[in-house]
Amino acid sequence: MRVGEMELPLKQGVISERDIAGELGQVLEGLIPGRSNDSETTIFDATGLALLDLVTGKVALDLALEKGIGTRVDM
């Protein structure tokens, strides 16, 4: 696993491949266990996750509608 925000800590030796148990999706699918205690760390890199863009857009739209600002554009 060498993607996103994990690349630099791996290169710097702050963490190693054996420190990485898996990916969040594997935990959600029940393929691997999540944290078993508070001393374990979960790192989530949401870079590139389109859901965040959608939620941000929805929040911006809701605020614009609430304040009566912005310009409606037909697409």
SS3 letters for the chain? CCCHHHHHHHHHCCCCHHHCCCCHHHHHCCCCCCCCCCCCCCCCCCCCCHHHHHHHHHHHHHHHHHHCCCCCCCC
Task: Tell me the pTM.
Answer: 0.52
Mean pLDDT of 15-32: 91
Mean pLDDT of 16-21: 89
Predicted confidence (pLDDT) per residue in 41-72, tens digit: 888 777 777 888 899 999 999 999 999 999 98
Predicted confidence (pLDDT) per residue in 1-15, tens digit: 556 778 888 899 998
Mean pLDDT of 35-44: 88
